[in-house]
Structure 1
Amino acid sequence: MSVSERPGGRSARVREAVFAATLSGLSERGYASLTVEDVAERAGVHKTTIYRRWGTLAQLVAEAVVDLSETTVPVPDTGALESDLHEMARSIVALVTSESGRAIVAALFSDAVRTPEVAAIKREFYAGRYALADVVVQRAVGRGEIQQNVSAADLLAAIAAPIYYRLLVADLPVDRAVADRAAAAALVAARAGVLNA
């Protein structure tokens, strides 16, 4: 089942419970210690439900991570690139400082080095993020705010890099002010042609 499919009724409740259990397990145990059995017990479902719907633990984690990101970091449409970038940056900060977001960061950035499945999840996660950033870029191009050849991936990196640097390298707090500075710098870079593909 793709992340874009949103089942209703009991199916939606099971999906929500399993995703919540997955993120909770990641937060408490990390990817390397997470099991389908653990997720099933936390979610109150049988493990065959998980295998039938997601196939593997890696696929389940990937979909849970992407789902959280899609619901927590939506594509902004404020009518202006500047405010779109501020919304994106603030959403990233809100995600990485939430309990579930910290679990994602822990899984994607610590276990990825030694776990090929997590590296694949990380690639899938960022591929989705780049696609969403491209929507913001194309709207801005249509409004004449930036050139057509601005790289959505580089624009997103320009926003996210200062946030992740503070969080993962410098071990400094991230907040709305950090988000706003990152967005402002990314906007200047995009308008100056620094992020052109």
Structure 2
Amino acid sequence: MTSTPQRPGGRSARVREAVLAATAAELSERGFAAMTIEDIAARSGVHKTTIYRRWSTLSQLVADAAIEVSATTVPIPDTGSIESDLREMARSIVALVTSESGGALVAALFSDAVRTPEVARLKREFYSARYELADIVVRRAVERGEISEKVSAADLLAAVAAPIYYRLLVADLPVDQSVADRAAAGALAAARAGALDQAE
């Protein structure tokens, strides 16, 4: 079982889906600096005034697109154990970064973040939101007595994701399910050893 945010229904949902899909495509193809609301409107078939009513700035739109892709592809798991929760999280991250749309979005965000302060800020906000959601996984594990209440949710999620992103973005190596499973196992071992405890 996984937790995903509620979304609007009907025409509103279709408009949102079309705009966010167009945003992700424009970001992956053009990069943040070359994107415009006008291009997104043309690609999505949604008038730009409608887009501006929902998203007042391009940065808000890009952030929403990134969150949507992540929420859909990397939901917060609730399997009943921290071991399988972390494994599912890691596998979902791999599924995201190896998919055509998700991989392009992640690559664009990371490459543009080096040059564009606004995208760097969006990236920080995006991962901060993911850390907050990961706190749910940690709280459940603490309640089940699987890990210490001192474990930092942010550090645990980082320990799961870091090996995957390192291979993908730094070492230029492939990532797959076995990489995900090793990352999850390593993160859990570190948590149980006290290496991810919050600073007192």
> The TM-score by the shorter chain falls in which range?
over 0.9
State how far apart, in whole Å, the 2-side matches of 1:52 and 1:120 are: 23
User: Which residue matches 2:107?
Assistant: 106
Q: Report the CA distance between 1:4 and its aligned residue.
A: 5.0
Letter in 1 for 2:159: A
RMSD across aligned C-alpha pairs, in angstroms?
1.3
TM-score (norm 1): 0.96
Q: Distance in 2 between matches of 1:74 and 1:101?
A: 14
Aligned equivalents of 2:169, 2:5: Cα separation in 1: 30
Cα distance in structure 2, aligned partners of 1:96 and 1:117:
22
Q: Distance in 2 between matches of 1:102 and 1:29?
A: 14
Please give the residue correspondences for 1:28-107 in structure 2 after superposition, counting only pairs within 5 Å.
28-107=29-108
- State yes or no: 1:172 paired with 2:173: yes
The TM-score with structure 2 as length reference comes to 0.94
| CA pair 152-55 structure 1, distance change in 2 beyond 3 A | same
Partner of 2:161: 160
How many residues align structurally? Answer: 195
Inter-partner Cα distance in structure 2 for 1:181 and 1:5: 32
Partner of 1:118: 119
More deviation, 77-86/100-109: 100-109
CA contact (8 A) 1:30 1:106 kept: no
- Counterpart residue type for residue 87 of structure 1: E
Look up the equivalent residue of 1:188 and give its one-letter code.
A
Q: Aligned partners of 1:121, 1:99: CA distance in 2, in Å?
A: 21
**Once structures 1 and 2 are overlaid, which stretch shifts more, 3-12 or 63-72?**
3-12
What is the deviation of 1:5? 5.9
Q: Is the 8 A contact 2:5 2:71 kept in 1?
A: no
CA–CA distance in 2 between the matches of 1:14 and 1:5?
A: 16
Gaps of 5+ in 2: none
Measure the CA separation in 2 of the matches of 1:97 and 1:11.
Answer: 29
Q: Distance in 1 between matches of 2:124 and 2:95?
A: 21
